[in-house]
Structure 1
Amino acid sequence: MSYPPDPNNPYGQPPAAPGYGYPQQAPPAAPGYGYPQQAPMAAPGYGFAPAVPQSMPGLVTTARVLLFIVGGVQTILAIVYVIIGAAAKDATNTLKHTTSDNPFTAMGDAAAGVLIVIAVVFGLFAALSITLGAKFGKGGNSVRVTTIVYGCFGGLIGLLILLGAISAGTAVGLVMAFLWLAISIIWITAMCVRDGVSWFNRPRY
């Protein structure tokens, strides 16, 4: 039979004072009080704006240089075809004055007309190439989309040249076809990669 300890007994076990022995566990703090709550981590890809390039990306710069080069070549070809067409027209007019009812005069007129049309087409494409290249610095998304369409058209021309070169078996045609295909792929790729999209969609102040 046990008895409660006598507080007046000097040999008895003193009662344990509160605050000694095992540390008392503090009650958990209510949310929003006491300790600061940790901010939730943002999900990757959300809440952060994409990095805006401060200078023109390298692949976009390459596409721009190729546009200027192609525009220069197209300008030269337009001038050459104009000269040849004008020479063919002069030769046809001379032939008309020297002989009458010559079947070659009609062919000469047709050839001169075709050459002039080709020259105009090259001139228009040259203007487009140079204009697109010049707008790469300050142009927006419309310049990027137009370059993609232009690259697709150039790729189609390259495929047609390739098929014609394979049928004719000409090495020059093969080189021209692969060159056009490579340039067109660079144009399209430069406009579709993330750096290219960010460059043309960057804010302008």
Structure 2
Amino acid sequence: MASILLAICVSTPATAQVEDRQAMMDLVIQVQQLQDEVRMLTGMLEEQTMELENLSNRQRDQYLDLDQRITALRNPAPPLTTTGAAMTSGASNTYEQAVPQVREEAPEVRPALDTPSSVTGIATPDTQARDMALSPEAEKAAYDMAFQSLKEMKYADAASQFQSFLRAYPNSEYADNAQYWLGESYY
């Protein structure tokens, strides 16, 4: 009986030591898992930080671009003037009527004496008074007319109308779109 009691006393501490070792191993494994999880979360945090920084830079660039555009709209180019001949009332309803021809600066040529300006086509002071600045409404109407021709599949008409529009309004807010649709009209 003494031997049984001795065996029980000796085996009990050994069993406790094995259980303690197992618990210690479980704790080490848990610590390693937590360290791995912290590394993974740190990596995700760095990725999110970089993405946030990229988005912030992109937003700043878009803001600066928008600010430049608004500044450009506030300080428009000086208005262009048209010739009086382009706005005659007897002309047919064509695109050229909506897009007045831009007068180019040329050396002054004086007409012959007693020759009316309607014959020579040279602007005199009284015909210059009839010249008017290109209006935003005429600009929009010219673009819309060219775009309508494109929608109606009149590609040749649309191409010539977009070309006329771009000559008349090179700095228009619609110039980029007109250039694009001009290219599309060739297909």
| TM-score, normalised relative to structure 1 | 0.20
Work out which structure has the larger RCO, using CA pairs closer than 8 Å and 6 or more positions apart in sequence.
1
| TM-score, normalised relative to structure 2 | 0.22
Name the structure with the higher helix share: 2
